């Protein structure tokens, strides 16, 4: 060539000279013609192509050559400036004039090379084409086409791997990979592949009727604990009152709701508000059961969050705070009220503290309701429908549905008739006998709205018969009644009697004590002193003056030690029910001569020690001993330590020190825990089944609180042994123990008796310690109290039968739960999670071995798996390790003990791989790298479907808008032989998917002919049309009910405002006051118009379907 290192040749001169010089690389701009393509294909150079490049508009169509580092490079330009005469130059002389385009061309090639794509030439394939590898069923997407001297080398991404093949080995497939018609042109995928697709859909498109919290926490499965989660998923407001009895696991239920919400939306800010004594429990339970880390915060932390929000940031917060500190932090609440922060989830434990309208706790409840997208109230206090307590709580949760107390009672009226229908039908009465109840509902103010719902119409159809209904229709009646119940969507109430689980039997025993004469004289002297003081004052002294007497019954040596120290404050320690500040003077009592005499051996403690040794000999090694007094606790720990390993826990033990004590007790590190109600409040001891009441509280609720620490969800023993110290001649034994036994406190949970006992025992000490009463009169008065309690309990039982709330045992059936789990595959099974993890393990070179004989697997990571986890930026959730710690273990190849079994994880410290785990999320990401991994057409064998029957099934993702938006998977099946739809096949497929029971249909040839495909499409469409019509009617009725309640509330408010306005006008008040009254009335009317506009939008409903898979199905029987 010439000595020039840059030259240009017009296209008309041809490209033959390129072959002679063999340039190292060639960049083609624009579209070459056929002769140019042929010439370029003959080159052995690296050829790339680009549609455009910066500076190309200043070039001429033609060929530019450049000599760089001893090798030629070329730029072929098509479609830009006119062709010019040939020209050459040295690079350094191209800054100006007619040679300038040579230098520009050189820069275009240098800067545009990396952006160029491979030159395909006459290849029939291009990037992103869908191809099949000939001779295999593998379908993939073209990743790169590269020309070589021997032909085109094509890289295909398929099955998570890169395959390299010649163009001749590949068959291009035309069509849209999203189109079902495209899917059925491919060979059917095996069961494992189609299962992965359906599992990916369930997890990446969260379904309204699927329980993602099932098998996703380290808990033992109990069906009733998922009722709140099911309710919140079907709620139009995201608010719920969980009012289960003590010991059924409300904390776990709230954690499950949390997991459901977490699967469906990002939870950036979550807040638990609980009494200070329970904050540690919340942190511990969320960590131990759900691998969820909460920080305990003070109100100032919320003020800092408010500052961050005001500064424009969006801080994350996952915390627990004490109710006492937050309601008292007026300045912080004022700041938060100003900015109205959004919390994705707020949980209030012991929410009955909010029920009294007007107090600080109630006001705080209103603020939390304003700030929360989802709101849970937890309260074990039974609901008294005849008071405003329930209304006050529900109006905080949903003031839109329950805006007024008077309206609330009208809203509940239909429930009594609905429950009567369910009760009578369940007893086998003819349907015609309940029609009157339905007629009565239609006449009620809010009954007309209930009667407008499709569920009510169906209920009326079912009971329109003179005969008793068959069992399947009775079950449907229960379901319909539950759906129509006014409170079903906002209240979840489970009682122990409703739960079908085997319950621990409470077995009370007495430990008899025979006091020595010295001990009896000591107690009688204290009692005599107490009565003398009461008689001289003419009234029964308050709490403070009762303390010496109660301490005497508890522990005589402890009382004597206290009297010697002359420290009355010790009597008040660890006692919760202080209701006055009456000072206690001990000087007179100390001066009673008998109290200074030696007591001799402690017969009460000796009786306890003997019984504990006997229990140990029977294999009952651990026990909890309760006392109200710290003096008693200290004494017992000192004495018991001579024969047992003992720890203590009371109100003086810091909160942070209590959990390690519980963990040690759980692990069997010591035998006996001596504890007070205060020290044990909110804590769980379900692993222990021996309780000793060393003294008896003078309040039956305190007795229940003690027993409830052991008699809880998860109690592992068949019996709970309750030992009561029986000391004749004391108030506790002669009066209280007798009364408690009469009303069954020790044998049965108080449950719904609590409000009755609270009323009856409010003044019991004043009645039983009246100095004017003889011992016989006190016993008679105790019997009268017991009779009153029994009478009211019978009345309560009758009321319960007619109550307006929903019974949980019916709700379990309503929501499709069995004692082994959700029906119809409405969960993500352990086998589904394992399949996802195995795809990730294969893709990254990691290993998963096991299970071993204990059911545990061992996962060893690789640097690649660690790097993928790091790049994914997953959040710290669903793992006992932080993401950083998990990355380190995976990178180092450390063996990690893992399991897919939630119940196994609840009893062992192993990593639970569930839907919440970051590695499962990473596995889903891995599938998403190319949607061709998600095989959409497959052949499967399904258990539960008639053996040998053949079906074509269309699986659709169905999404509904409206007041209760939803997303579901529908599986619509058509019998290949009969050409008829079969409603049982779809649920069987989804159940088999969750259970890991989909298997390959061996040797099955595709049955998906065009006519059968059209039939299944038509069946799915018919189902859609019918369902949309029903849901639209229900949506209209629910919207109308909500609007009617708000309208009625506004009507009442407007009436009051008009009355006030009339009064101020009649009194000829200041014009400013009149204007205020007029303005308030206008605001009410404006609010009503705004509400009506909002509700009109919510009445809009649509139902859309997206097909996600097609299946050929063979029944396995």
**Secondary structure tally for the chain: helices H, strands E:** 41, 36
The C-alpha atoms of residue 677 and residue 683 are separated, in whole angstroms, by 10
Mean pLDDT of the chain: 81
Specify the CATH superfamily of domain 223-401. Tandem AAA-ATPase domain (3.40.50.10810)
- The SS3 assignment for 784 reads helix
The C-alpha atoms of residue 652 and residue 650 are separated, in whole angstroms, by 5
Evaluate whether 471 touches 419 at the Cβ level (below 8 Å): no
Residue-wise DSSP of 254-276 = HHHHHHHHHHHS---EEEEEE-G
The C-alpha atoms of residue 4 and residue 292 are separated, in whole angstroms, by 71
**Residue 582 pLDDT exceeds 50:** no
- In Å, how far from its chain's centre is CA 151? 57
The C-alpha atoms of residue 735 and residue 732 are separated, in whole angstroms, by 6
The C-alpha atoms of residue 711 and residue 694 are separated, in whole angstroms, by 18
- The SS3 assignment for 973 reads strand
Q: Are strands 690-693 and 719-726 parallel, antiparallel or unpaired?
A: parallel
**Residue 40 pLDDT exceeds 90:** no
**360-371 helix and 389-397 helix, angle to the nearest 10 degrees:** 30
pLDDT in tens, 963-1005: 778 899 999 999 988 999 998 999 999 999 999 999 998 755 5
- Exposure on the CB side of residue 1015, measured as CA atoms within 13 A: 18
Element (H, E) at 798: helix 775-801
The C-alpha atoms of residue 608 and residue 858 are separated, in whole angstroms, by 48
Burial level of 131, CB count in 10 A (0-12/13-18/19+)? buried
**Residue 240 pLDDT exceeds 80:** yes
pLDDT in tens, 73-88: 999 998 888 888 888 8
The C-alpha atoms of residue 894 and residue 912 are separated, in whole angstroms, by 17
Instruction: Report residue 36's pLDDT band, with 50, 70 and 90 as the boundaries.
Output: confident
Strand partners, 1106: 957
The C-alpha atoms of residue 738 and residue 66 are separated, in whole angstroms, by 109
Evaluate whether 513 touches 726 at the Cβ level (below 8 Å): yes
Contacting residues for 727 by C-beta, under 8 A, at least 6 apart? 513, 515, 553, 604, 733
The C-alpha atoms of residue 387 and residue 372 are separated, in whole angstroms, by 26
Contacting residues for 1093 by C-beta, under 8 A, at least 6 apart? none
**Residue 1024 pLDDT exceeds 80:** yes
Instruction: Report residue 802's pLDDT band, with 50, 70 and 90 as the boundaries.
Output: very low
Sheet holding 491-492, edge to edge: 295-296, 317-322, 269-274, 345-348, 375-378, 239-242, 491-492
Evaluate whether 675 touches 703 at the Cβ level (below 8 Å): no
Instruction: Report residue 864's pLDDT band, with 50, 70 and 90 as the boundaries.
Output: very high
**Residue 920 pLDDT exceeds 90:** yes
Instruction: Report residue 385's pLDDT band, with 50, 70 and 90 as the boundaries.
Output: very low
In which residue are the tokens 């062709």 written?
83
**Residue 244 pLDDT exceeds 80:** yes
First to last CA, the chain: 81
Q: Which region, left, alpha or beta, applies to residue 246 given φ > 0 means left and ψ of -120 to 50 means alpha? A: beta
Instruction: Report residue 95's pLDDT band, with 50, 70 and 90 as the boundaries.
Output: low
Cα dihedral 162/163/167/170 (nearest 10)? -110
Burial 842-872 (b: 16+ CB within 10 A, else e): ebbebebeeeeeeebbebbbbeebbebbeee
- Among the listed residues 129, 195, 130, 137, the one whose alpha carbon sits nearest the alpha carbon of residue 1006: 137
Highest mean pLDDT among 656-660, 779-783, 918-922: 918-922
pLDDT (0 to 100) of residue 629: 87
- Among the listed residues 895, 808, 887, 788, the one whose alpha carbon sits nearest the alpha carbon of residue 847: 895
Q: Does 363 sit behind a cis peptide bond, omega within 30 degrees of 0 on the bond before it? A: no
pLDDT in tens, 634-661: 999 999 999 999 999 887 888 778 878 8
Q: State whether the Cα torsion 884-888-893-895 is positive or negative.
A: negative
Element (H, E) at 307: helix 299-310
Q: What is the DSSP letter of 362?
A: H
**Residue 90 pLDDT exceeds 70:** yes
Beta-sheet strands, E only, within 777-867: 817-818, 821-822, 847-849, 857-860
> Residues 525-535: what's their mean pLDDT?
77
In which residue are the tokens 């009969």 written?
978
Contacting residues for 771 by C-beta, under 8 A, at least 6 apart? 531, 534, 535, 540
Q: Give whole-number Cα distances, 1106 to 179, 591, 622, 952, 1103, in Å.
A: 10, 88, 59, 17, 10
Q: What is the DSSP letter of 671?
A: S
Q: Are strands 937-942 and 999-1000 parallel, antiparallel or unpaired?
A: antiparallel
> Residues 153-171: what's their mean pLDDT?
82
Sheet holding 896-899, edge to edge: 847-849, 857-860, 896-899, 911-912
- Among the listed residues 717, 788, 248, 787, the one whose alpha carbon sits nearest the alpha carbon of residue 497: 248
- Among the listed residues 208, 242, 324, the one whose alpha carbon sits nearest the alpha carbon of residue 277: 324
Strand partners, 603: none
Task: Flag the least confident range among 573-577, 651-655, 838-842.
Answer: 573-577
The C-alpha atoms of residue 608 and residue 692 are separated, in whole angstroms, by 9
Evaluate whether 378 touches 351 at the Cβ level (below 8 Å): yes
Q: Which residue has the higher pLDDT, 684 or 524?
A: 524
Task: Flag the least confident range among 645-659, 748-762, 1045-1059, 1088-1102.
Answer: 748-762
Contacting residues for 884 by C-beta, under 8 A, at least 6 apart? none
Q: Give whole-number Cα distances, 142 to 27, 115, 161, 333, 929, in Å.
A: 22, 18, 12, 59, 14
- Among the listed residues 53, 23, 19, 22, the one whose alpha carbon sits nearest the alpha carbon of residue 36: 19
In which residue are the tokens 């998906």 written?
1008
Q: Which residue has the higher pLDDT, 389 or 259?
A: 259
The residue length of the chain stands at 1117
Task: Flag the least confident range among 516-530, 615-629, 630-644, 936-950.
Answer: 516-530
The C-alpha atoms of residue 667 and residue 660 are separated, in whole angstroms, by 10
Evaluate whether 404 touches 374 at the Cβ level (below 8 Å): no
Name the percent of the chain lying above pLDDT 90. 25
**Residue 904 pLDDT exceeds 90:** no
The C-alpha atoms of residue 686 and residue 1018 are separated, in whole angstroms, by 55
CATH architecture classification, 505-511+603-758: 3-Layer(aba) Sandwich (3.40)
The C-alpha atoms of residue 9 and residue 678 are separated, in whole angstroms, by 96
- Exposure on the CB side of residue 93, measured as CA atoms within 13 A: 8
- The SS3 assignment for 109 reads helix
**Residue 1056 pLDDT exceeds 50:** yes
Q: Give whole-number Cα distances, 501 to 496, 712, 713, in Å.
A: 9, 12, 10
Evaluate whether 571 touches 532 at the Cβ level (below 8 Å): no
Contacting residues for 1047 by C-beta, under 8 A, at least 6 apart? 1088, 1091
- Among the listed residues 993, 1023, 1113, the one whose alpha carbon sits nearest the alpha carbon of residue 207: 993
Strand partners, 849: 858
């Amino acid at each position: 060539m010439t000595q020039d290192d840059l030259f240009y040749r017009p296209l008309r001169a041809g490209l033959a000279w390129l072959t002679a010089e063999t340039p190292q690389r060639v960049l083609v701009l624009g579209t070459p013609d056929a002769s140019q393509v042929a010439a370029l294909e003959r080159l052995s150079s690296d050829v790339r192509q680009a549609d455009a490049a910066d500076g190309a508009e200043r070039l001429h169509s033609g060929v530019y050559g450049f000599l760089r580092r001893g090798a030629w490079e070329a730029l072929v330009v098509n479609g830009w400036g006119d062709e010019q005469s040939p020209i050459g130059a040295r690079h350094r002389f191209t800054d100006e004039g007619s040679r300038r385009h040579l230098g520009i061309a050189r820069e275009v090639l240098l800067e545009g090379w990396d952006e160029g794509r491979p030159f395909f030439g006459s290849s029939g394939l291009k990037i992103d084409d869908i191809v099949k590898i000939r001779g295999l069923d593998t379908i993939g997407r073209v990743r790169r086409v590269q020309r070589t001297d021997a032909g085109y080398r094509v890289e295909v991404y398929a099955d998570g791997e890169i395959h390299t093949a010649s163009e001749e080995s590949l068959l291009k497939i035309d069509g849209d990979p999203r189109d079902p018609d495209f899917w059925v042109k491919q060979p059917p995928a095996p069961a494992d592949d189609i299962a992965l697709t359906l599992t990916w859909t369930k997890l990446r498109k969260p379904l309204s009727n699927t329980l993602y919290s099932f098998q996703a926490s380290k808990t033992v499965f109990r069906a009733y604990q998922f009722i709140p989660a099911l309710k919140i998923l079907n709620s139009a407001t995201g608010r719920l009152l969980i009012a289960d009895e003590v010991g059924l696991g409300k904390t776990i239920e709230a954690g499950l709701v949390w997991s459901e919400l977490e699967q469906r939306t990002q939870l950036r800010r979550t807040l638990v508000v609980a009494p200070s004594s329970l904050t540690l429990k919340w942190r511990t339970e969320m960590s131990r059961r759900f691998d969820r880390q909460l920080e305990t915060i003070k109100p100032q932390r919320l003020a800092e969050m408010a500052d961050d929000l005001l500064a424009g940031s969006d801080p994350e917060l996952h915390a627990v705070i004490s109710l006492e500190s937050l309601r008292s932090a007026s300045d912080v609440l004022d700041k938060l009220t100003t900015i109205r922060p959004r919390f994705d989830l707020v949980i209030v434990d012991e929410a009955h503290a909010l029920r009294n309208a007007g107090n600080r706790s109630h006001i705080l409840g209103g603020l939390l309701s304003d700030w929360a997208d989802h709101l849970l109230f937890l309260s074990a206090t039974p609901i008294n429908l005849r008071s405003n307590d329930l209304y006050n709580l529900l109006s905080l949760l949903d003031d839109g549905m329950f805006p007024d107390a008077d309206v609330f009672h009208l809203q509940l009226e239909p429930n009594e008739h609905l429950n009567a229908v369910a009760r009578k039908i369940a007893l086998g009465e003819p349907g015609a006998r309940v029609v009157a109840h339905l007629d009565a509902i239609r006449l009620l103010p809010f009954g007309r709205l209930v009667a407008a719902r499709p569920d009510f119409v169906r209920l009326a159809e079912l009971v329109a018969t003179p005969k008793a209904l068959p069992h399947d229709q009775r079950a449907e009646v229960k379901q319909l009644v539950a759906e129509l119940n006014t409170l079903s969507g906002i209240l979840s109430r489970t009682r122990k009697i409703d739960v079908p689980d085997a319950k621990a039997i409470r077995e009370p025993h007495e430990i008899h004590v025979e006091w020595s004469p010295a001990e009896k004289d000591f107690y009688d002297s204290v009692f005599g002193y107490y009565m003398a003081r009461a008689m001289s004052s003419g009234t029964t002294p308050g709490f403070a003056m009762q303390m010496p007497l109660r301490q005497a019954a508890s522990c005589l040596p402890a009382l004597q030690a206290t009297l010697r120290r002359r420290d009355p404050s010790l009597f008040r320690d660890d006692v919760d029910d202080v209701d006055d500040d009456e000072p206690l003077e001990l000087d007179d009592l100390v001066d009673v001569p008998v109290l200074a005499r030696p007591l001799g051996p402690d017969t009460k403690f000796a009786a306890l020690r003997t019984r504990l040794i006997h229990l140990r000999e029977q294999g009952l090694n651990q026990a909890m001993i309760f006392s109200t007094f710290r003096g008693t606790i200290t004494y017992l720990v000192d004495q018991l330590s001579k024969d047992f390993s003992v720890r203590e826990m009371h109100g003086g033990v810091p909160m942070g020190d209590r959990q390690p004590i519980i963990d040690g007790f759980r692990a069997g590190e010591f035998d006996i825990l001596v504890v007070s109600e205060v020290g044990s409040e909110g804590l769980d001891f379900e692993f222990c089944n021996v309780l000793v009441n060393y003294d008896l509280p003078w309040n039956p609720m305190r007795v229940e609180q003690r027993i409830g620490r052991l008699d809880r969800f998860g109690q592992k023993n068949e019996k709970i042994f309750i030992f009561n110290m029986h000391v004749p001649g004391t108030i506790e034994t002669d009066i209280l123990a007798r009364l408690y036994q009469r009303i069954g406190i020790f044998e049965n949970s108080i449950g719904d008796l609590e409000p009755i006992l609270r009323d009856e025992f409010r003044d019991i000490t004043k009645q039983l310690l009246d100095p004017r009463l003889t011992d016989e009169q006190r016993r008679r008065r105790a019997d009268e109290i017991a009779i009153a309690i029994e009478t009211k309990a019978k009345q309560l039982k009758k009321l319960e039968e007619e109550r307006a709330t929903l019974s949980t045992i019916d709700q379990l059936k309503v929501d499709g739960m069995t004692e082994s789990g959700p029906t119809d595959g409405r969960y993500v099974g352990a086998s589904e999670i394992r399949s996802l993890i195995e795809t990730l393990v294969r893709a990254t070179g990691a290993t998963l071995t096991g299970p071993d004989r204990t059911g545990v697997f061992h996962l060893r990571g690789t640097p690649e798996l660690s790097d993928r986890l790091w790049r994914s930026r997953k959040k710290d959730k669903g793992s006992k390790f932080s993401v950083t710690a998990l990355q380190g273990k995976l990178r180092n190849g450390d063996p990690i003990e893992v399991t897919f079994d939630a119940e196994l994880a609840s009893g062992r410290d192993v990593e639970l791989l569930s839907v919440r785990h970051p590695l499962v999320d990473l596995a889903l990401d891995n599938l998403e790298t190319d949607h061709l991994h998600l095989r959409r057409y497959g052949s499967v064998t399904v258990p539960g479907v008639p053996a040998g029957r053949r079906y074509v099934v269309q699986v659709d993702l169905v999404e509904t808008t409206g007041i209760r938006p939803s997303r579901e998977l529908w599986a619509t099946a058509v019998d290949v032989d009969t050409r008829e739809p079969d409603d049982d096949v779809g649920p069987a497929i989804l159940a088999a998917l969750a259970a890991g029971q989909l298997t390959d249909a061996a040797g099955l040839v595709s049955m998906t002919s065009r006519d059968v495909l059209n039939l299944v499409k038509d069946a799915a469409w018919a189902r859609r049309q019918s369902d949309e019509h029903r849901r639209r009617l229900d949506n209209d009725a629910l919207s109308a009910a909500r609007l009617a309640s708000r309208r009625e509330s506004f009507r009442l408010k407007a009436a009051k405002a008009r009355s006030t306005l009339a009064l101020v006008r009649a009194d000829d008040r200041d014009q400013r006051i009149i204007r205020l009254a007029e303005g308030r009335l206008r605001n009410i009317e404006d609010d009503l118009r705004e509400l009506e506009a909002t509700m009109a939008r919510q009445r809009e409903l649509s139902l859309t379907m997206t097909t996600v898979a097609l299946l050929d199905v063979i029944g396995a029987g």
